[in-house]
Amino acid sequence: MAVTSRTAWLTTDSPTSRRQARLGQLYRQWLAFRRNRLALAGLGIVVALLLIAAFAPLLAPQDPLAQNLPGRLQPPSWQHLFGTDSLGRDIYSRIVYGTRVTLVIVILVVILVGPIGLLIGAASGYLGGWVDRLLMRITDVFLAFPRLVLALAFVAALGPGLENAVIAIAITAWPPYARVARAETLIIRSQDYIAAVRLQGASQWRIVWKHVVPMCLPSLIVRTTLDMAGIILTAAGLGFLGLGAQPPIPEWGAMISAGREQIFDQWWVATFPGLAICIVALGFNLLGDGLRDVMDQR
């Protein structure tokens, strides 16, 4: 009874408050999203990643940093599910703790990149003229270099480390977002609903922020989610090259790098972190695809 009345409240034709209208809209999107099995699987993976990161101390049987040199390079067993690495550390525990590192990278990059790309793109597209030319040429400069190479150059200049890796990835990741936001804005700015707000005497800042940005947001959210896989791989790549997270931090890319020497004799050292990267990247990709179907429809 309670459930049906709540559904009715969400799906009503005549909501009685802004909040109800907005929640109803979200609920309708969720219903559409739920029909997509693969997207649900992606959401499941991402939620699992969040839960594992939150409860890492409970899930990991051992300290991810505890070394045990006599028990080094042991194959997977009940005691060490994924085996041990060259310093005798439990790989399973390190992968569990590695989710935290991955999440930190992903969240920091998104917080840095999303708003910057969105604002630069929307301002460039809406204002046009010399603002547009200046901002887009700067964007061109960043787009002219391959992303990983540019990130490498920045980390090398800033010095290796997790924070610097995040900054380097953020600096190299925003230009495509600015481009997407600009393209969207160019379409939106000529719409009658924007002309109508201009006719009400709204300032340019208000038009960009309150009327253009909400229309760009869905495609940017989708793009971010799809890009997440790339960000994780870039972070792993930097870790692999020794420029990202520094030992003994359990970062997946760095773990693969450490297992490189034993890849033929002790396959498990590099395989399990690789699988973890693969699954998480896949999860974000599936989630992004599902979100695109739901949010980007017109």
Partner 1 sequence: MTATPAIAVEKLNVFFGDSHVVKDLSFTVSPGESYGIVGESGSGKSTVLRVLAGLNRDWSGAVAILGESQPKLRSKAFYRSSQMVFQDPYGSLHPKKTVDDTLAEPLTIHGLGDAQARIGRAMSDVGLPASFRFRYPHQLSGGQRQRVAIARALVLEPTILLLDEPTSALDVSIQAEVLNLLTSLRHARKLTYILVSHDLAVVAHMCERLLVMQFGAGVEEMTAATLAARAPKTDYARQLLTASEGFRRAG
Q: How far apart are the first and last CA of the chain?
A: 35
Helix axis angle for 129-143 and 91-127, nearest 10°, is 150
Minimum distance from residue 179 beta carbon to partner 1 (Å): 22
Minimum distance from residue 121 beta carbon to partner 1 (Å): 18
- Per-residue tokens: 52: 């594992």
- Do residues 262 and 269 touch, judged by C-beta distance below 8 A? yes
Minimum distance from residue 93 beta carbon to partner 1 (Å): 45
User: Of 24 and 115, which CB lies nearer to partner 1 in the complex structure?
Assistant: 24
User: Of 29 and 67, which CB lies nearer to partner 1 in the complex structure?
Assistant: 29
Angstrom CA distances, 189 to 168, 184, 211, stand at 32, 9, 9
User: Of 126 and 268, which CB lies nearer to partner 1 in the complex structure?
Assistant: 126
Minimum distance from residue 195 beta carbon to partner 1 (Å): 6
Minimum distance from residue 25 beta carbon to partner 1 (Å): 7
Minimum distance from residue 213 beta carbon to partner 1 (Å): 10
User: Of 21 and 149, which CB lies nearer to partner 1 in the complex structure?
Assistant: 21
CA distance 67 to 115: 42
User: Of 7 and 77, which CB lies nearer to partner 1 in the complex structure?
Assistant: 7
CA distance 55 to 97: 9
Residue with tokens 């953020």: 170
Minimum distance from residue 1 beta carbon to partner 1 (Å): 24
CA distance 215 to 182: 12
Minimum distance from residue 136 beta carbon to partner 1 (Å): 23
Binding site for partner 1 (CB under 8 A): 13-18, 20-21, 25, 191-193, 195-202, 206, 210-211, 214-215, 298
User: Of 213 and 258, which CB lies nearer to partner 1 in the complex structure?
Assistant: 213
User: Of 70 and 201, which CB lies nearer to partner 1 in the complex structure?
Assistant: 201
User: Of 37 and 206, which CB lies nearer to partner 1 in the complex structure?
Assistant: 206
CA 195 to chain centre: 35
